[in-house]
Amino acid sequence: MKKLLLSLCLFGGFTSAFATPFVSENYVSKNINSPKVQLVDVGSKLDFFEEGHLKGAVQTDFQDWREDYGTYQLMKTPSKLQKQIQSLGLKNNTQIIIYDHKKDKGRLKASYVALALIVAGHKNVSILNGGYDEWSFDEDLVTTNTPKIKKSNYKLHYNKNILVDKNYVLKHIKKIPMLESRPARYYFGATKSNGVKRAGHIPGAMSYFWGYNFNKNKTIKKTDQIKSMLTDGFKLNPKNETMIYCTGGLEASMNWYVLSQVLNYKNLKIYDGSMREWGNLDDTPMVAYKWEMFTQN
């Protein structure tokens, strides 16, 4: 019975009073007109949103939630984060459902916006399982019209215990578990990530590519499968502190979202600057394997 309830909550089998990490197309179809549900489309305005989106959805891009710091970006400051949420007309005490269009980066845009909303203190954030293009919504639920947005008076309840900076990472190397979310070729230093000067990973970090959480059709894997990889495989404790990083925040946001929202990890940190900051500095410790040893004839 407990497994049945967990499955229903996770995939949107019924309207829940608490956060459901990934909701189904059926759930969205049934709740699209609810005043307690607000849809957020993270597809680009010209390429996707104006070609067709769910009725009532507002459009945003993950870049709207970030600020430039040279070679890397960070989430906006609390005051700017509140203004961003208000500009979309989003309200407290609603379920915000985020969905993406096509390609892997779309899923990461969705998870980063979800992360930003949770950092802002929103309690009920969901992502459409599989994304918009995985499903065939009824014609009466889809539109090309751009909605008029009325600015909201959203009140921020900022959670300062999620985002960490470079100094925090330096103090905790090999003291807490760290997960790197990039593909393994970047972790091992076989090649460099785009925009990153140095190859390799932070000492002591373990490699867990964010894509391992998903099936081929881009839907989330069963909770037991994810738990066997992360909790059992890496011997992580859901109650203990764990830190996650990637290239520049997006990939880490998905692992953070899955661990915190699906597996209910309580003390997760995310290094938002990630390798775009760390790997472009000359004095931060890095581990990279000597691949020439394996490529010599």
Secondary structure (DSSP) of 84-138: HHHHTT--TTSEEEEE--SHHHHHHHHHHHHHHHHHTT-S-EEEETT-GGGS---
- Domain for residue 167, yes or no? yes
Q: Is residue 136 part of a domain?
A: yes
Tell me, yes or no, whether 168 lies in a domain: yes
Any domain includes 120: yes
Indicate the pLDDT class of residue 228, thresholds 50, 70 and 90.
Answer: very high
- Does the global pTM surpass 0.75? yes
Q: Do 212 and 101 fall into the same domain?
A: no
Could you tell me which of 171, 185, 172 has the C-alpha nearest to residue 242? Answer: 172
pLDDT at 263 > cutoff 90:
yes
Contacts of 116 (CB under 8 A, 6+ apart): 65, 75, 76, 81, 84
- Domain range for 202 is 163-295
Looking at the structure, tell me whether residues 200 and 73 fall in a common domain: no
Q: How far is CA 225 from CA 1, 8, 263, in A?
A: 19, 17, 11
CATH number, residue 89? 3.40.250.10
In a domain, 231, yes or no: yes
- Here the tokens at position 39 are 């849809």
Report yes or no on 92 lying in a domain: yes
Give the relative orientation of helices 78-87 and 103-119 as an angle to the nearest 10 degrees: 110
Q: Note whether 38 and 86 are within 8 A (CB).
A: no
Is residue 95 included in any domain, yes or no? Answer: yes
More confident residue, 105 or 282: 282
Tell me: pLDDT of 182 over 80: yes
Q: Above pLDDT 70, what percent of the chain?
A: 91
Residue at a domain's end among 115, 143, 171: 143
